[in-house]
Amino acid sequence: MNEEYLTVSALTGYLKQKFDRDPYLQQVFLTGEISNFRPRANAHQYFSLKDDGAKISAVMFKGAFAKLKFRPEEGQKVLVVGRISLYEGSGNYQIYVEKMEPDGVGALFQALKQLQEKLTKEGLITAPKKPIPKYPKKIAVITSPSGAVIRDIITTVKRRYPIAKIVLFPTLVQGSLAAENIVSNLKQADALGFDTIIMGRGGGSIEDLWPFNEEIVARAIFAAKTPIISSVGHETDTTIADLVADKRAATPTAAAELAVPVLVDELRKISDFENALVLNLQKILQQKKQSFNQFAQSYVLTQPQRLYEGLSLKVDLNAQQLSNNFQKIFQKKTQETRVVQDRLQKTDLPQRLELTSQKVNQLSIDLTRGSQDLLASKKIQFEKTVSALNLLSPLNILERGFSYVTTNREIVKSSEQVAVGDEIQIHLHQGQITATVTNKTDQKDQKEEKNG
C-alpha cells in the first residue's frame, strides 16, 4: 500500500482554503436568533446564530462590534453580513460577522417575556418571599448528579456548615422531559420536610435553560411550602425560576452560602454571648453584694436605738410643753382666785364670802381634778408612744424570746436555703447557738399535707 496519510493539520488547512476560496462564502447574508451570548467588555464577541433547524458559531471582532448602534441581547433575532471560514484550532466552521442589525425578537425570547408578564400579573413573581432558615438541618438539592453544580454545593456546605445534611434529587436539567422531572422532584422534596431546597444547573444558551422557564416549574416553586434558592445558569442569566424562587443566587457556590452560615462564626458568636452573660451576671452579683454590705452596715441594724431617738426627743418636748401649759393655767387660775378673794374682802359680806369661798374651793377642786386628768391622759399617751417604739426595736423582739437564723452569714428566710446536714447559727437576745439541720419541711410539702 502506497497511500500517503495526511495529518489533521494538513486536512484542516485544506478545508480552510476551500472555505476561503469559495466566492459564495466570502459575503453571506444571514438571519437568525442570537444564542449563548455573553458580552465581553472591549473584546471580541463569541455567540451563536440559530433557527428551528440548525445553529452556527459566530465571531464578531471588537472593532466591528464597537460600531453597532444597538446592544445585542440573548434571544434577539438579527440580520448579519459576514464571511464563512474554518477555525483550524477546533475544526469548526463559523461566520465572522462584519455587520449586524436587529430583525425582531426571537420566538423563545418572546415567549419568555409573555410568561413573565403573565406570572407578574398573577402575583407569582411579586408575592412576599419565604425567609431562608438560618440554621438548616437538611437541604435538598435538585440538579444533575454529574454536573459541577452538586460538587460546588457539597464542597461549600461542608466547608461552612458541616453539620447540615445534603440530599441530592437526581434531576434532568435539559431537554423536553426536564420540566416534568424538575416538578416531580420538587414536589417530592417539599413533602419530605426539608429546611431548604436548592435547585439549579450550570450555564448554557436560552434553549439549554428553557426547562426552568416553563410555567409548570414556576407554579410548582410558588406552591412549595419549603423555602427555595434558585441558581440557574451564570450571573447574567435570569430565568422564570429565579424570579419566582424565594432567593436567587448567581452561582451554585453562592446558593450554598445563602443556605448555610459559617459554623465557626456562629460558635464564636455563642462564645461571645456566653462571655457577655457571665460578665453581666458577675456585675449584678457585685452590685447586689455591695447593696447587702451597705444594708448590713446601716444604722438600722448596727444602732437600732436610733430608730426612736427622734420620737423620744419629741415626747420630751411635748412633756415640757405640757408642763409649761399647766403652769400657765395654774398661775392664771391662782390669779383669778386672788382677784375674787380681794373682791370678797372688800365687800365684807359674810354670805357672799361664804358663797365665794365655796366657789373658790369648787374651782380649786375642778382645777386640781382637771390638771390630774390632763396629766394622766398625757402620761397614758406617752406610755403608748414609748410602747409602740419598743415594739419596733429589733432588740426588744429578741428579748421576748424570738431569734433569727443565718448560714454562711446569710439570713435564712426559707427552708429551701438549707439542706439536711448544713450548719446554721441561731442568734438570741444574748449570745448565739450553732446547730446542724437534721430534718426540714418545704412549703410545697406543707401544702401537700394540708391538701391531703
* Average pLDDT for the chain: 86
Q: Which range in 193-197, 314-318, 372-376 is most confidently predicted, on average pLDDT?
A: 193-197
> Taking the mean position of all CA atoms in its chain, how far away is CA 232?
31
CA–CA dist 97, 324 (Å, integer): 127
Class of CATH domain 111-261:
alpha beta
CA–CA dist 320, 323 (Å, integer): 5
pLDDT in tens, 377-410: 888 888 887 777 776 666 667 677 778 888 887 8
pLDDT in tens, 237-256: 789 999 999 999 989 999 99
Does the structure show a pLDDT above 80 at 350?
A: no
Percent of the chain with pLDDT over 90: 40
User: Cα-flanking dihedrals φ and ψ of residue 200, to 5°?
Assistant: 170, -175
pLDDT in tens, 138-197: 999 999 998 889 999 999 999 999 999 999 999 999 988 999 999 999 999 999 999 999
Does the structure show a pLDDT above 60 at 93?
A: yes
pLDDT of residue 360: 82
pLDDT of residue 315: 82
Q: Which range in 183-187, 335-339, 358-362 is most confidently predicted, on average pLDDT?
A: 183-187
pLDDT of residue 387: 75
Mean pLDDT of 195-207: 88
pLDDT of residue 48: 94
3-state SS of the chain is CCCCCCCHHHHHHHHHHHHHHCHHHCCEEEEEEEECCCCCCCCCEEEEEECCCCEEEEEECHHHHHCCCCCCCCCEEEEEEEEEEEECCCCEEEEEEEEEEEEEECHHHHHHHHHHHHHHHHCCCCCCCCCCCCCCCEEEEEECCCCHHHHHHHHHHHHHCCCCEEEEEECCCCCCCHHHHHHHHHHHHHHCCCCEEEEEECCCCCCCCHHHHCHHHHHHHHHCCCCEEEEECCCCCCCHHHHHCCEECCCHHHHHHHHCCCHHHHHHHHHHHHHHHHHHHHHHHHHHHHHHHHHHCCHHHHCHHHHCHHHHHHHHHHHHHHHHHHHHHHHHHHHHHHHHHHHHHHHCCHHHHHHHHHHHHHHHHHHHHHHHHHHHHHHHHHHHHHHHHHHHCHHHHHHCCCCEEEECCEECCCHHHCCCCCEEEEECCCCEEEEECCCCCCHHHHHHHHHC
Report how far apart, in Å, the C-alpha atoms of 7 and of each of 3, 10, 227, 244 are: 13, 5, 57, 53
Q: 8-105: which CATH number, 2.40.30.10, 3.20.20.70, 2.40.50.140, 2.40.10.340?
A: 2.40.50.140
pLDDT of residue 343: 73
C-alpha cell belonging to residue 291: 447593696
Lowest mean pLDDT among 83-87, 106-110, 171-175, 319-323: 106-110
Give the predicted TM-score (pTM) of the model: 0.48
Mean pLDDT of 12-32: 90
Domain spans of the chain?
8-105, 111-261, 267-297, 302-398, 403-451
pLDDT of residue 212: 93
Mean pLDDT of 73-88: 90
pLDDT of residue 296: 74
